[in-house]
Chain A
Amino acid sequence: MRLSRFRGDDAFKLVAAALAASVLVILLLMGYTLLRSSVPVLERFGLYFFTGTKWNSAAGHEIYGALPYMLGTLVTSAIALIIGVPISLGIAIFLSEMSPRRIRIPISNLVELLAAVPSVIYGLWGFFVFRFFLADYIEAPLSAYLGWIPVFSGPVLGVDVLAAGCILSIMIIPTVSSVSREVISAVPNSVREGAYSIGATRWEVTRNWVLSYARSGLFGAVILGLGRAVGETIAVSMVIGNAVGPQALPTSLLKPGQTMSSLILNLFFEATPGTYEFSAILGVGLFLMILAFSINILARLMVTRVLKVKGGAVE
């Protein structure tokens, strides 16, 4: 082997390998800068930052607790999953097991177009269009009949925790349904054939064999949707009402709330770099990053494990 040939190939491989590490560099950079910037607030307020509800930047009365926003993220994402996951699974099952073969690709493309709509447009639509539907047809009856339960009390405005959860549920549908569909189509056909051969109907095959075979991958798809819901910023900030402090605790679906990401967006430009408030906002960013990182790693590991079986068993 000539030396020059060896060098050219080696150099190319080395450069490509180095550039492949760019994703790791980006993640490390994000983690390091956020950690470094949130150290002051963590040192000064310690545990209160995790468990406290007050948020006050007035000099002398400074105190920062991030609990309401963590709960806000949790509650809005939970609503998104409760509404979005059954619909997404329904779509995935329908498209991979039940619908005529001809309409599968067009319909799944149509559903995936939901992922192409920019989030600022979801926010615009949520605030000017969806909000009135939500207030008139869902929140008004909820508050009239169930308003005595604290969770359903509050003004019927359509700009609140429930609105954010509903918009998020629409936004996670394309992610959850397309990954679920992929996972379900990775189930080996022998599983289906075996089930049909003992006389099961299509739904029974799907429910008792296909879904249980694909279970862990479907769980991964749901977690992936959770990751999307947790990180969404713009659309949420436009419909959630943006409360700050103890007011922001998501005690009712009909009250304005705040998530971690919308808090960052709303307060970032009011804070001066170097102050405790700035550090507190970045501390919330650090939580958000850790949460998103763990959710996505978990989801990917579960989904890839299932899809790998396809490579080994079927093809």
Chain B
Amino acid sequence: MDRYTVRRLKDRLFTLLGAACVVIAVIPLGSILLEVIVKGAPALSWAFLTTSSLPSPTSPGGIGPAIQGTLVMVGLTSLFGIPIGVMSGIYLAEYGNNRYADAMRLFSDVLTEFPSIIAGITIYLVFVLVFGYSPLAGALALSFILIPIVSRTTEESIKLVPNSIREGSSALGIRKWRATVSIVLRAARSGLITGSLLAVARVAGETAPLLFTAFGDTYYLHSLNGPAGSLTMYIFTDWKQPYSGYQQAAWGAALVLILIVLAINIAVRLASWERRMGRR
């Protein structure tokens, strides 16, 4: 073989290796989805989704309170976190050409990848020790994770709004803050929605911060005082029980959780993909 053939073969070989890496990474994803569906589906029933009955050694009980807790805490988190994140993103995008904004951008990025357990301990120390476990504490801890993500995605999507829109509104004599809120934000709305949805999907899957703040509970919430359950904590408390009913309950809850999280992710990705295709 001459040297050119060897080089060509090497090129082919590394292309194949690259493709193999993709396959290796997709296998665990496939396996996780498959196992969660196969092991979780038998647990699913109307009673499993809506009642608060405890698992027994043979039957999976119900995850109604866990679903309720997840919805309540994720809802509260969005309520606290999204406005703060969006305002912070507006600052970074519209006024962010200075060192202060550079520093905040860096801190946002750092906080996005921060160990979420730290958020849990911090809220435990400053909030739970005083007021006790509650879904509010859980939502506070989750908003530590949500705010930086929403802030950065808001910034990215506002920056995509063409400057001509800002210039046009300024020419009409609209004040900058009015223009930002009612014109620029509206133009950036699809990016804002997808960013917030991805952040919500991320916090819905968090376990560690909630264990320290909401603690977990098997009853329906009636007020914002006292412990609250969530799907993630439900899985985390049931998986190590040596009874098939408990394990089935854990897999059933995992199936519900992964359906919620993946549905949001896939919907967002498909939407942004279609937009990109449409623009072309």
Q: What are the residues of chain A within 8 A of B207 when measuring CB–CB?
A: 118-120, 233-234
Q: What are the residues of chain B within 8 A of A12 when measuring CB–CB?
A: 176-177, 180
Closest to A206 in B: B14
Closest to B103 in A: A24
Tell me the count of chain A residues lying within 8 A, CB to CB, of chain B. 89
Tell me the minimal C-beta distance from B279 to chain A in angstroms. Answer: 13
Q: On chain B, which size bracket covers the interface?
A: 35 or more
**A13 part of interface (Cβ distance < 8 Å):** yes
Partner of A125, one of B17, B31, B276: B31
A116 touches B262 (CB 8 A): yes
A193-216 near B? 1/0 per residue, CB < 8 Å: 000000001111011000000000
**A164 part of interface (Cβ distance < 8 Å):** no
**B126 part of interface (Cβ distance < 8 Å):** yes
Q: What are the residues of chain A within 8 A of B100 when measuring CB–CB?
A: 17
Partner of B118, one of A30, A173, A204: A30
B115 touches A231 (CB 8 A): yes
Specify which of B113, B177, B236 lies most central, judged by the most chain A CB atoms within 10 Å of its CB: B113
A274-289 near B? 1/0 per residue, CB < 8 Å: 0000000010010011
Closest to B211 in A: A265
A118 touches B208 (CB 8 A): no
Q: What are the residues of chain B within 8 A of A93 when measuring CB–CB?
A: 14, 18
B25-54 near A? 1/0 per residue, CB < 8 Å: 110110110011001000000000000000
A114 touches B25 (CB 8 A): yes
A23 touches B119 (CB 8 A): no
**A314 part of interface (Cβ distance < 8 Å):** no
Q: What are the residues of chain B within 8 A of A30 when measuring CB–CB?
A: 118-119, 122
Q: What are the residues of chain A within 8 A of B90 when measuring CB–CB?
A: 16
Tell me the minimal C-beta distance from A92 to chain B in angstroms. Answer: 9
Tell me the minimal C-beta distance from A281 to chain B in angstroms. Answer: 9
A300 touches B129 (CB 8 A): no
B15 touches A94 (CB 8 A): yes
A-B contact pairs, 9 of them (CB 8 A): A13-B177, A20-B96, A23-B147, A26-B119, A87-B21, A119-B207, A128-B39, A264-B121, A292-B114
Q: 17 additional contacts, CB 8 Å, given A34-B125, A120-B207? A: A20-B88, A26-B147, A29-B122, A87-B21, A87-B24, A116-B205, A118-B205, A118-B258, A119-B207, A121-B254, A124-B254, A130-B31, A201-B11, A203-B15, A224-B113, A231-B113, A231-B118
The 6 A-B pairs of least Cβ separation, nearest first, read A231-B115, A94-B18, A118-B205, A90-B21, A12-B177, A16-B91
